[in-house]
Every structure is written in C-alpha cells, then in structure tokens.
Structure 1
Amino acid sequence: MTVRILGIDPGLRVTGFGVIEQHGNRLVYVASGCIKSNERQLLPERLGTLFAGIGEVIAAYRPTQAAIEKVFVNVNPQSTLLLGQARGAAISALVHGGLPVAEYTALQVKQAVVGHGKAAKEQVQHMVVRLLELSGAPTADAADALACAICHAHGGQGLGALATAGYRVRGGRLLR
C-alpha cells in the first residue's frame, strides 16, 4: 500500500513543503519547495497566501496524510505569535484539503531523521538527501518539511525509536 505524505515546515515569511511516498519500508521523494509571502502585505493577506499555496500543493500532489512541525516558544513573543498564526493557516489549509494532520516537535523530527534531537540544520539536510536518495540538497525550509514527512512515515519514532508518551519537552530535552 502506498501512502503519500505532505510535510509542512511553517513560517510566515517562508513555509517549506515536502511530499514523499511510502512504499512499505521504502521512502520515495515526490516534490518539495517553498511558499513565500510578501513581507509588504498585511498579515491577513500573508496568511491567505500561505493557505492558498498549501491548497495548490494539495491539489497538485494529492497527498493522503499530512505532518506539520509544532511551534516552539521563541525568545521574542511577537515572533512566536506570528509563527503560530502561520501554522494555524497551514493547519487550516490541510484540514480544508481533507487531510488528517499529525503534529511533531522539532525534537521528534530530528530524532526520527538524524538519530538525535539536537541535530543541526545541516545534519537534517544531509540525512534527508541520504534517506530519499536525492541528487542535491533541498533548501533548508524544504528539507525541514521533508524531514517532517519522513518522521511521520516512521510513525514519529524514526531511527532512534524515541517514545514520547508521558514526557514533555523542555530546553530541547524530554522530561518526565
């Protein structure tokens, strides 16, 4: 059975997307890219751009499942709020497209793709290239979205089989 997964790395300025197919234990790259909003537009128009862009990706690639990265708390509360609004627009677009949506922390995504939760962005990009047998590295935002889709394909467990039930994340670490 083939499952087509759309991964989303939300951002107000740039939202990465990645589409993979899962054929049993094998993962196959389908597409990836970025949806960019115009910084000169007002916030509602920017959110509308993200919503419409994700709708176009859904229409073009027909995924059956979606995975999105959870928002982390930023030092700047205003940035966190804006990121949360972009994430909300993305989730709304996914649900509007009829997709079941799974959410993963950055720690879970890195654990699933690299094997440890404190991996650098370059390590995530490198492993995405290796796991999907790509000829070149995707942009950082697209690689993060593909990594989110890979994490979902691995059941959120991935290479390190990180079980998160009953734990909470603090400072990049899992705590009981």
Structure 2
Amino acid sequence: MSAKVVRILGVDPGSRITGYGVIATEGQNIGFIACGTIRTTHEKDFSRRLSVIFNGLNEVILTHKPEVAAIEDVFVDRNPRSALKLGHARGAAIVAIMQHSMEAFDYTARKVKQAISGYGQADKKQVQHMVKVLLELEKSPSSDAADALAVAICHAHHLRYGERLNC
C-alpha cells in the first residue's frame, strides 16, 4: 500500500518580502513543486502591502493546490514595532490560507532550523544549503523562499514523525 501524496505550502511571512514554498510528500519522499517571494516594497501604504501578501498567497494556493500550510511563527527580537508589522503580515497570510479551508500549522524559527539542519541556531546560508540538498535542487533558492521551503519540510517531518521530532 502506497502512502498518500500531500502537498504542503510553507510560508515565511514578512512585511516587505514573504517567502513561499510548495513541496509534495509521499511516505519518506519529499519533492519540490515551487517557491518564490511576494514583494510588497512597491507599496508605500502598509495596508496595501497586506493586500499584496493576501492576493499573492491566494494565487499561489490556486496555482499549486496545497492541502495544508505551515507558517513560521512571529518572534520578538529587539524592535516591538517590527514584530507587530510581522504579525500583521502573518495574519494576512493566515487569512489567505483559511479562505481556502486549509489547516495552518505554526512552527518557530528555532524548530524549523532544528528540523532542517539539526541545529536550532543555524544561519540563513546553512538553511539555504540544507533545503537545496534535501530537495535536490540545482541551485539554492533565495533566503526567503528557502525559509518557506524549510517550514514546509519541517511540517513534512512532523507528519512523518509527529511529536518525536518536536517541531
């Protein structure tokens, strides 16, 4: 009996650049479908940026038809205002996902890095490299797209191994 193929949308939300990645899993196999970024930098008005994120993810979902989504959780570093904007961008992404009746799973950056590289403090270059290796890509995706693919891969591992991975 073969395993069911599941398409997973990974999202790395950002108020200026939101990364997305779509993978397919079947048992132990993980395959690349698509990745890219939604750039809002051409919009000066923050509300319009949120609309660009929402519409961009709607288009990705309609094009690639994922069954489930995984999204990176917000973290507060030093600037609460930046965290608030990131939360708004994440909210726009979640509403786009929910509009398509998909379930959304949250993962912290640390847990994603742990699942991808085995080290929760991995830097962006390490994440890019591991995504390239795990998905057998010819070249590394942009850092935002790689982060989104990493979130999707983390969820694929979670589906496979559950809480043992603690993603």
Scaled by the length of structure 1, what TM-score is found?
A: 0.88
1:162 offset after TM fit, Å?
4.1
1:156 offset after TM fit, Å?
7.1
**Equivalent residue number for residue 5 of structure 1:** 8
- Contact 1:15–1:34 (CA under 8 A) maintained in structure 2: yes
Moved over 2 A (4+): 38-41, 161-164
Out of 55, 58, 74, the residue aligned to residue 58 of structure 2 is 55
Q: 1:137 aligned to 2:140?
A: yes
1:23 offset after TM fit, Å?
1.2
Out of 62, 73, 92, the residue aligned to residue 95 of structure 2 is 92
**Equivalent residue number for residue 114 of structure 2:** 111
1:29 offset after TM fit, Å?
0.2
**Equivalent residue number for residue 82 of structure 1:** 85
List runs of 5+ in structure 2 lacking aligned partners: none
For residue 78 of structure 1, give the secondary structure of its aligned residue in structure 2: helix
How high is the sequence identity, in percent, across the aligned residues? 51
1:39 offset after TM fit, Å?
4.7
- Contact 1:108–1:156 (CA under 8 A) maintained in structure 2: no
- Contact 1:4–1:64 (CA under 8 A) maintained in structure 2: yes
1:31 offset after TM fit, Å?
0.2
Letter in 2 for 1:138: P
Distance 2:159 2:66 in 1: 18
Out of 143, 153, 165, the residue aligned to residue 156 of structure 2 is 153
**Equivalent residue number for residue 170 of structure 1:** none
- Contact 2:17–2:41 (CA under 8 A) maintained in structure 1: no
- Contact 2:27–2:160 (CA under 8 A) maintained in structure 1: no
Letter in 2 for 1:80: A
Distance 1:130 1:41 in 2: 37
Letter in 2 for 1:36: R
Distance 1:75 1:85 in 2: 17
- Contact 2:20–2:36 (CA under 8 A) maintained in structure 1: yes
